[in-house]
Amino acid sequence: MPEAVSLPAPTAPDPVAIRATLINRRDRLAALPQAATATRVASLLSEIDAALDRLEGGHYGACSRCDGSVEADRLAADPLATVCLDCLNEGERRALERDLETASRVQAALLPARDFANAAWRGHYAYLPYGAVSGDYVDVVASSEDLLVMVGDVAGKGVAAAMLMSQLHAMFRATAAPGLGLGEMMQRVNRLLGAATTANAYATLAAARLRADGSVELCNAGHASPLLLSAQGVEPLPADGLPLGLFAEAEYSTRTIPVGAGEGLLLYTDGLSEGRGPDGCELGVDGLRSLLGGSPKDAPAGLVELCLGAAASHRGGAPAHDDLTVMALLRAR
Protein backbone atom coordinates (compact mmCIF):
# COMPACT_ATOMS: atom_id res chain seq x y z
CA MET A 1 0.00 0.00 0.00
CA PRO A 2 1.25 3.53 -0.67
CA GLU A 3 2.75 5.75 1.98
CA ALA A 4 0.06 8.40 1.40
CA VAL A 5 -2.63 6.50 3.31
CA SER A 6 -2.15 4.23 6.26
CA LEU A 7 -4.62 1.38 6.50
CA PRO A 8 -4.90 -1.86 8.42
CA ALA A 9 -3.83 -4.92 6.44
CA PRO A 10 -6.54 -7.55 6.03
CA THR A 11 -6.64 -9.27 9.40
CA ALA A 12 -8.16 -12.36 10.98
CA PRO A 13 -11.83 -12.71 10.07
CA ASP A 14 -14.37 -10.97 12.25
CA PRO A 15 -16.10 -13.62 14.45
CA VAL A 16 -19.47 -11.87 14.26
CA ALA A 17 -19.39 -11.86 10.46
CA ILE A 18 -18.15 -15.47 10.33
CA ARG A 19 -20.93 -16.59 12.67
CA ALA A 20 -23.56 -14.81 10.55
CA THR A 21 -22.17 -16.45 7.39
CA LEU A 22 -22.16 -19.91 8.95
CA ILE A 23 -25.68 -19.60 10.37
CA ASN A 24 -26.96 -18.29 7.04
CA ARG A 25 -25.46 -21.33 5.27
CA ARG A 26 -26.92 -23.70 7.84
CA ASP A 27 -30.39 -22.17 7.37
CA ARG A 28 -30.13 -22.48 3.60
CA LEU A 29 -29.07 -26.12 3.83
CA ALA A 30 -31.82 -26.90 6.33
CA ALA A 31 -34.38 -25.39 3.95
CA LEU A 32 -33.42 -27.73 1.06
CA PRO A 33 -35.97 -30.42 0.22
CA GLN A 34 -35.04 -33.99 1.19
CA ALA A 35 -33.33 -35.40 -1.89
CA ALA A 36 -30.57 -37.66 -3.13
CA THR A 37 -28.10 -35.11 -1.71
CA ALA A 38 -29.26 -35.78 1.84
CA THR A 39 -26.01 -37.44 2.92
CA ARG A 40 -23.86 -34.57 1.62
CA VAL A 41 -26.20 -32.01 3.20
CA ALA A 42 -25.97 -33.79 6.55
CA SER A 43 -22.17 -33.79 6.40
CA LEU A 44 -22.06 -30.10 5.43
CA LEU A 45 -24.41 -29.29 8.32
CA SER A 46 -22.12 -31.06 10.74
CA GLU A 47 -19.09 -29.19 9.30
CA ILE A 48 -20.94 -25.92 9.87
CA ASP A 49 -21.83 -26.91 13.45
CA ALA A 50 -18.21 -27.85 14.08
CA ALA A 51 -17.08 -24.44 12.78
CA LEU A 52 -19.60 -22.71 15.07
CA ASP A 53 -18.24 -24.78 17.99
CA ARG A 54 -14.69 -23.71 17.13
CA LEU A 55 -15.88 -20.11 17.07
CA GLU A 56 -17.52 -20.49 20.51
CA GLY A 57 -14.40 -22.18 21.85
CA GLY A 58 -12.14 -19.40 20.59
CA HIS A 59 -10.03 -21.65 18.35
CA TYR A 60 -11.68 -20.86 15.02
CA GLY A 61 -9.04 -20.53 12.29
CA ALA A 62 -6.54 -22.86 13.97
CA CYS A 63 -5.02 -25.51 11.67
CA SER A 64 -6.22 -29.00 12.61
CA ARG A 65 -2.88 -30.56 11.58
CA CYS A 66 -0.26 -28.24 13.09
CA ASP A 67 0.07 -25.43 15.62
CA GLY A 68 -0.38 -22.77 12.94
CA SER A 69 -3.40 -20.90 11.62
CA VAL A 70 -5.41 -21.20 8.43
CA GLU A 71 -4.62 -18.20 6.22
CA ALA A 72 -7.13 -15.32 6.70
CA ASP A 73 -7.80 -14.89 2.97
CA ARG A 74 -8.61 -18.61 2.59
CA LEU A 75 -11.00 -18.46 5.57
CA ALA A 76 -12.71 -15.47 4.01
CA ALA A 77 -13.24 -17.51 0.83
CA ASP A 78 -14.10 -20.75 2.67
CA PRO A 79 -15.20 -20.32 6.32
CA LEU A 80 -15.12 -24.12 6.78
CA ALA A 81 -11.39 -24.44 5.98
CA THR A 82 -9.50 -26.25 8.77
CA VAL A 83 -6.09 -26.94 7.25
CA CYS A 84 -3.32 -24.41 6.59
CA LEU A 85 -1.57 -24.35 3.18
CA ASP A 86 1.56 -26.04 4.54
CA CYS A 87 -0.46 -29.00 5.85
CA LEU A 88 -2.45 -29.82 2.70
CA ASN A 89 -1.95 -33.38 1.47
CA GLU A 90 -1.00 -34.24 -2.12
CA GLY A 91 -4.61 -34.51 -3.39
CA GLU A 92 -5.70 -31.29 -1.66
CA ARG A 93 -2.67 -29.50 -3.03
CA ARG A 94 -3.41 -30.65 -6.60
CA ALA A 95 -7.04 -29.47 -6.28
CA LEU A 96 -5.84 -26.06 -5.08
CA GLU A 97 -3.35 -25.86 -7.97
CA ARG A 98 -6.14 -26.58 -10.46
CA ASP A 99 -8.22 -23.78 -8.90
CA LEU A 100 -5.25 -21.42 -9.19
CA GLU A 101 -4.69 -22.34 -12.84
CA THR A 102 -8.33 -21.59 -13.58
CA ALA A 103 -8.18 -18.30 -11.67
CA SER A 104 -4.99 -17.41 -13.55
CA ARG A 105 -6.69 -18.01 -16.93
CA VAL A 106 -9.75 -15.99 -15.86
CA GLN A 107 -7.46 -13.13 -14.87
CA ALA A 108 -5.32 -13.27 -18.03
CA ALA A 109 -8.48 -13.02 -20.14
CA LEU A 110 -9.33 -9.69 -18.45
CA LEU A 111 -6.05 -7.97 -19.35
CA PRO A 112 -6.03 -5.32 -22.09
CA ALA A 113 -3.56 -5.39 -25.00
CA ARG A 114 0.03 -4.66 -23.87
CA ASP A 115 0.38 -1.82 -26.40
CA PHE A 116 -2.28 0.80 -27.01
CA ALA A 117 -2.51 4.23 -28.64
CA ASN A 118 -4.71 7.06 -29.84
CA ALA A 119 -3.93 10.15 -31.91
CA ALA A 120 -1.88 11.80 -29.15
CA TRP A 121 -0.74 8.97 -26.89
CA ARG A 122 1.11 5.65 -26.90
CA GLY A 123 1.17 3.29 -23.94
CA HIS A 124 2.65 -0.03 -22.86
CA TYR A 125 2.49 -1.98 -19.62
CA ALA A 126 3.89 -5.06 -17.87
CA TYR A 127 1.85 -7.12 -15.42
CA LEU A 128 3.81 -9.56 -13.28
CA PRO A 129 1.85 -11.60 -10.71
CA TYR A 130 3.82 -12.69 -7.65
CA GLY A 131 2.04 -16.07 -7.66
CA ALA A 132 -0.37 -17.72 -10.07
CA VAL A 133 -2.72 -14.74 -9.79
CA SER A 134 -2.27 -11.05 -9.05
CA GLY A 135 -4.04 -8.53 -6.82
CA ASP A 136 -2.98 -5.76 -9.21
CA TYR A 137 -5.52 -4.24 -11.54
CA VAL A 138 -4.74 -2.77 -14.92
CA ASP A 139 -7.16 -1.67 -17.60
CA VAL A 140 -7.35 0.45 -20.75
CA VAL A 141 -10.70 1.61 -22.11
CA ALA A 142 -10.49 3.34 -25.49
CA SER A 143 -13.17 5.62 -26.88
CA SER A 144 -13.24 7.90 -29.90
CA GLU A 145 -12.35 10.86 -27.65
CA ASP A 146 -9.80 9.53 -25.20
CA LEU A 147 -7.97 6.65 -23.59
CA LEU A 148 -8.93 5.81 -20.02
CA VAL A 149 -6.16 3.94 -18.19
CA MET A 150 -6.18 2.50 -14.68
CA VAL A 151 -3.57 0.91 -12.47
CA GLY A 152 -4.62 -0.32 -9.04
CA ASP A 153 -3.73 -2.58 -6.17
CA VAL A 154 -6.28 -4.66 -4.28
CA ALA A 155 -5.71 -5.31 -0.56
CA GLY A 156 -4.39 -8.80 0.12
CA LYS A 157 -2.92 -11.44 -2.14
CA GLY A 158 -3.84 -14.64 -3.89
CA VAL A 159 -7.19 -15.81 -5.17
CA ALA A 160 -9.29 -13.57 -2.89
CA ALA A 161 -7.44 -10.46 -4.16
CA ALA A 162 -7.69 -11.73 -7.75
CA MET A 163 -11.45 -12.14 -7.43
CA LEU A 164 -11.74 -8.59 -6.08
CA MET A 165 -9.60 -7.43 -9.00
CA SER A 166 -12.05 -9.02 -11.44
CA GLN A 167 -14.97 -7.31 -9.66
CA LEU A 168 -13.19 -3.97 -10.07
CA HIS A 169 -12.67 -4.73 -13.76
CA ALA A 170 -16.40 -5.39 -14.23
CA MET A 171 -17.36 -2.26 -12.26
CA PHE A 172 -15.11 0.04 -14.28
CA ARG A 173 -16.21 -1.52 -17.57
CA ALA A 174 -19.86 -1.00 -16.58
CA THR A 175 -19.26 2.57 -15.34
CA ALA A 176 -16.79 4.04 -17.85
CA ALA A 177 -18.50 6.24 -20.41
CA PRO A 178 -16.92 8.98 -22.54
CA GLY A 179 -19.17 11.75 -21.16
CA LEU A 180 -18.82 10.79 -17.50
CA GLY A 181 -16.36 12.79 -15.41
CA LEU A 182 -13.47 10.81 -13.96
CA GLY A 183 -14.31 11.90 -10.39
CA GLU A 184 -17.93 10.83 -10.78
CA MET A 185 -16.84 7.46 -12.18
CA MET A 186 -14.53 6.90 -9.19
CA GLN A 187 -17.36 7.84 -6.80
CA ARG A 188 -19.67 5.29 -8.41
CA VAL A 189 -17.09 2.52 -8.32
CA ASN A 190 -16.24 3.37 -4.70
CA ARG A 191 -19.89 2.97 -3.69
CA LEU A 192 -20.33 -0.23 -5.72
CA LEU A 193 -17.18 -1.78 -4.29
CA GLY A 194 -18.15 -0.85 -0.74
CA ALA A 195 -21.60 -2.37 -1.20
CA ALA A 196 -20.31 -5.54 -2.84
CA THR A 197 -17.49 -6.52 -0.54
CA THR A 198 -16.50 -7.10 3.07
CA ALA A 199 -15.06 -4.41 5.33
CA ASN A 200 -11.54 -5.68 4.66
CA ALA A 201 -11.78 -5.34 0.91
CA TYR A 202 -10.52 -2.16 -0.70
CA ALA A 203 -8.29 -1.04 -3.51
CA THR A 204 -5.97 1.83 -4.26
CA LEU A 205 -6.09 3.04 -7.82
CA ALA A 206 -4.76 5.75 -10.13
CA ALA A 207 -6.89 6.57 -13.16
CA ALA A 208 -5.95 8.84 -16.05
CA ARG A 209 -7.96 10.06 -19.01
CA LEU A 210 -5.58 10.76 -21.88
CA ARG A 211 -7.20 13.25 -24.19
CA ALA A 212 -6.52 13.65 -27.87
CA ASP A 213 -5.36 17.26 -27.22
CA GLY A 214 -2.52 15.87 -25.10
CA SER A 215 -3.86 16.88 -21.68
CA VAL A 216 -4.37 14.33 -18.90
CA GLU A 217 -7.12 14.23 -16.28
CA LEU A 218 -5.85 12.34 -13.25
CA CYS A 219 -7.64 10.92 -10.23
CA ASN A 220 -5.79 9.09 -7.50
CA ALA A 221 -7.55 6.96 -4.87
CA GLY A 222 -4.77 6.46 -2.32
CA HIS A 223 -2.46 4.87 -4.88
CA ALA A 224 1.33 5.12 -5.33
CA SER A 225 2.13 8.52 -6.89
CA PRO A 226 2.19 8.50 -10.70
CA LEU A 227 5.32 10.14 -12.10
CA LEU A 228 5.15 12.99 -14.60
CA LEU A 229 8.04 12.63 -17.02
CA SER A 230 8.57 16.15 -18.29
CA ALA A 231 11.34 18.16 -19.87
CA GLN A 232 12.06 19.63 -16.40
CA GLY A 233 12.58 16.22 -14.78
CA VAL A 234 10.49 13.58 -13.02
CA GLU A 235 7.76 14.82 -10.70
CA PRO A 236 5.60 12.61 -8.41
CA LEU A 237 1.89 13.42 -8.43
CA PRO A 238 0.75 12.43 -4.91
CA ALA A 239 -2.57 10.81 -4.00
CA ASP A 240 -5.37 13.07 -2.83
CA GLY A 241 -8.29 10.61 -2.57
CA LEU A 242 -9.12 7.73 -0.24
CA PRO A 243 -8.81 4.11 -1.38
CA LEU A 244 -11.90 2.69 -3.09
CA GLY A 245 -14.39 0.59 -1.14
CA LEU A 246 -13.84 2.02 2.35
CA PHE A 247 -16.16 5.01 2.73
CA ALA A 248 -19.36 5.22 0.69
CA GLU A 249 -19.42 9.03 0.88
CA ALA A 250 -15.81 9.61 -0.19
CA GLU A 251 -15.46 12.21 -2.92
CA TYR A 252 -12.87 12.08 -5.66
CA SER A 253 -11.39 15.20 -7.16
CA THR A 254 -9.41 15.24 -10.37
CA ARG A 255 -6.66 17.43 -11.71
CA THR A 256 -5.81 18.20 -15.29
CA ILE A 257 -2.14 18.11 -16.12
CA PRO A 258 -0.70 19.64 -19.26
CA VAL A 259 1.78 17.21 -20.77
CA GLY A 260 4.05 18.46 -23.51
CA ALA A 261 4.96 16.74 -26.76
CA GLY A 262 7.41 13.91 -26.05
CA GLU A 263 6.64 13.96 -22.33
CA GLY A 264 4.78 11.27 -20.43
CA LEU A 265 3.53 9.54 -17.32
CA LEU A 266 4.47 6.42 -15.40
CA LEU A 267 1.83 4.51 -13.39
CA TYR A 268 2.89 1.57 -11.23
CA THR A 269 2.03 -0.50 -8.17
CA ASP A 270 4.07 -0.69 -4.98
CA GLY A 271 5.60 -3.97 -6.19
CA LEU A 272 7.86 -1.65 -8.22
CA SER A 273 8.52 1.21 -5.78
CA GLU A 274 8.61 -0.89 -2.59
CA GLY A 275 10.66 -3.80 -3.93
CA ARG A 276 13.47 -4.35 -1.40
CA GLY A 277 17.15 -4.87 -2.06
CA PRO A 278 19.46 -7.25 -0.12
CA ASP A 279 20.12 -4.38 2.34
CA GLY A 280 16.37 -4.09 3.05
CA CYS A 281 15.92 -0.68 1.45
CA GLU A 282 13.26 0.04 -1.14
CA LEU A 283 13.84 1.16 -4.72
CA GLY A 284 11.56 4.06 -3.79
CA VAL A 285 10.12 6.97 -5.72
CA ASP A 286 13.54 8.65 -5.55
CA GLY A 287 15.14 5.60 -7.14
CA LEU A 288 12.58 5.74 -9.94
CA ARG A 289 13.12 9.47 -10.38
CA SER A 290 16.84 9.15 -10.82
CA LEU A 291 16.38 6.13 -13.08
CA LEU A 292 13.92 7.89 -15.38
CA GLY A 293 15.36 11.40 -15.18
CA GLY A 294 18.23 10.77 -17.55
CA SER A 295 16.60 8.21 -19.82
CA PRO A 296 15.42 8.82 -23.36
CA LYS A 297 11.63 8.90 -23.59
CA ASP A 298 11.02 7.64 -27.09
CA ALA A 299 9.16 4.35 -26.54
CA PRO A 300 6.77 3.32 -23.73
CA ALA A 301 7.98 -0.30 -23.91
CA GLY A 302 11.56 0.91 -23.40
CA LEU A 303 10.57 2.80 -20.22
CA VAL A 304 8.73 -0.26 -18.87
CA GLU A 305 11.77 -2.48 -19.60
CA LEU A 306 14.01 0.04 -17.87
CA CYS A 307 11.82 -0.07 -14.72
CA LEU A 308 11.65 -3.88 -14.69
CA GLY A 309 15.43 -4.07 -15.11
CA ALA A 310 15.96 -1.60 -12.25
CA ALA A 311 13.55 -3.54 -9.99
CA ALA A 312 15.34 -6.82 -10.71
CA SER A 313 18.82 -5.40 -10.16
CA HIS A 314 17.65 -3.63 -6.98
CA ARG A 315 16.53 -7.02 -5.61
CA GLY A 316 20.03 -8.29 -6.34
CA GLY A 317 18.84 -11.54 -7.89
CA ALA A 318 16.28 -12.33 -5.16
CA PRO A 319 12.77 -13.22 -6.35
CA ALA A 320 9.98 -10.62 -6.19
CA HIS A 321 7.77 -10.55 -3.09
CA ASP A 322 4.77 -8.73 -4.46
CA ASP A 323 2.67 -8.35 -7.59
CA LEU A 324 4.20 -5.76 -9.91
CA THR A 325 2.56 -3.63 -12.58
CA VAL A 326 4.14 -0.75 -14.47
CA MET A 327 2.61 1.30 -17.29
CA ALA A 328 4.37 3.98 -19.35
CA LEU A 329 2.45 6.58 -21.36
CA LEU A 330 4.08 8.94 -23.86
CA ARG A 331 2.58 11.87 -25.69
CA ALA A 332 3.45 11.98 -29.37
CA ARG A 333 6.15 14.47 -30.38
Q: Which of residues 72-91 bind Zn ion (CB under 5 A)?
A: 84, 87
- Find the shortest distance in angstroms from Cβ 59 to Zn ion: 13
Regarding 303 and contact with Zn ion (CB under 5 A), the answer is: no
Stretch that binds Zn ion, among 15-23, 62-70, 142-150, 322-330 (CB under 5 A): 62-70
| Residue 69 binding Zn ion, by CB under 5 A | no
Query: What number of CA atoms fall less than 13 Å from residue 263's CA on the CB side?
Result: 18
Q: Which is nearer to Zn ion, 66 or 248 (CB)?
A: 66
Of residues 112 through 131, those in contact with Zn ion by CB under 5 A are none
Beta bridge partners of 265: 228, 329
Residue number with CB closer to Zn ion (93 or 173): 93
Q: State which residue, 5 or 12, has the beta carbon closest to Zn ion.
A: 12
62 binding Zn ion? (CB under 5 A): no
Residue 316: CB minimum distance to Zn ion, A: 32
Minimum distance from CB of 88 to Zn ion (Å)?
8
Q: Which stretch binds Zn ion (CB under 5 A): 21-29, 63-71, 216-224, 278-286?
A: 63-71
| Contact of 138 with 127, CB cutoff 8 Å | yes
Q: Which is nearer to Zn ion, 86 or 251 (CB)?
A: 86
Using CB under 5 A as the binding rule, whether residue 261 contacts Zn ion is answered as no
Q: What are the two backbone dihedrals, phi and then psi, of residue 225, each rounded to the nearest 5 degrees?
A: -60, 120
Please, which residue, 12 or 63, has the CB nearer to Zn ion? 63
Under the criterion CB under 5 A, does residue 310 sit at the interface with Zn ion? Answer: no
Nearest CA to 196 out of 240, 156, 165 is that of 165
Member of 12, 45, 63, 257 binding Zn ion (CB under 5 A): 63
Q: Binding to Zn ion by residue 59, rule CB under 5 A?
A: no
Candidate residues 7, 14, 44, 68; the one interacting with Zn ion per rule CB under 5 A:
68
**Distance from C-alpha of 138 to C-alpha of 188, rounded to nearest angstrom:** 18
Interface size with Zn ion, residues (CB under 5 A): 6
Least distance in Å: CB of 71 to Zn ion? 10
Distance CA 194, CA 198 (A): 8
CB-nearer residue toward Zn ion: 41 or 87 = 87
- Residues that bind Zn ion in the complex, under the rule CB under 5 A: 63, 65-66, 68, 84, 87
